Structure 1
Amino acid sequence: MKHIAAYLLCVLGGNATPSSGDVEKVLASVGAEADGDKLGKLMEQLSGKDIAEVIAAGSEKLASVPAGGASAGGAAGGSAAAAEEEKEESEEEESDDDMGFSLFD
């Protein structure tokens, strides 16, 4: 992940096609070491590609991934309401624990 972040920082800095050396410099500037194998694989996969197109393609793929609870919205809403009721009941019980006496009366 740090390699991708460093690559993207290079692109944001104006270098449309950063080299592995550029990525290593960014990582070194924050005291991180580059993993040669991971960096090599990243550079190989991004070689000749526009980063904006790569991000757009990834966003399209993520849009098709179902989110947790999205298909069972009613069930999730019902359990949230039950949890809220339980919380209110526990707050009522706590207020009765002082049996009508207060430390500051």
Structure 2
Amino acid sequence: MKHLAAYLLLVAGGNTTPSSDDIKKVLSSVGVEVDESRVSSLIKAMEGKNVAEVIAEGSSKLATVPAGGAAVAGGVAAGGAAAGGDAPAEEEKAEEKEESDDDMGFGLFD
């Protein structure tokens, strides 16, 4: 990841095709150890490609990955309703309990 970050910093700085020496120089300037194999594989992977296009391609691939948050919440709601249909009443009790912290021994302006 650090090698990619150095590559992207170089591109953002105006170097559209950073070399392995450029990446090594950036990483060594901040005291990071350089992994030669990762640098060479990064250079090979980016050869002949535009960074903006690669990022756009990755973003479109990322958009197809399910986030999982909605499915988990839906599963909990469905499970609560199937268990007896008292899920809203139980949620209200939980909310009341959370709200009644009784200032925990101190007030806001004490």
Question: 2: distance between equivalents of 1:83 and 1:27?
Answer: 52
- Structure 1 gaps of 5+ residues are 99-105
1:86 is aligned with what amino acid?
Answer: A
1:101 aligns with none
Residue aligned with 1:70, SS? helix
Structure 1 position 33, deviation (Å): 1.3
In structure 2, relative to structure 1, the CA distance for the partners of 1:85 and 1:21 (3 Å cut) is: farther
Note if 1:53 corresponds to 2:61.
Answer: no
For residues 16-59 of structure 1, the C-alpha deviation after alignment (integer angstroms, 9 at most, x for no partner) is: 00000001111111110110111111111111111111111001
Note if 1:37 corresponds to 2:37.
Answer: yes
2:27 aligns with 27
Pick the structure with more helix per residue: 2
2:97 is aligned with what amino acid?
Answer: E
- Identity fraction in percent: 51
- Structure 2 gaps of 5+ residues are 81-87, 106-110
Q: In angstroms, what is the RMSD of aligned CA positions?
A: 2.9
State the TM-score, normalizing by the size of structure 2: 0.70
In structure 2, relative to structure 1, the CA distance for the partners of 1:90 and 1:57 (3 Å cut) is: closer
Residue aligned with 2:11, SS? helix
In structure 2, relative to structure 1, the CA distance for the partners of 1:42 and 1:77 (3 Å cut) is: farther
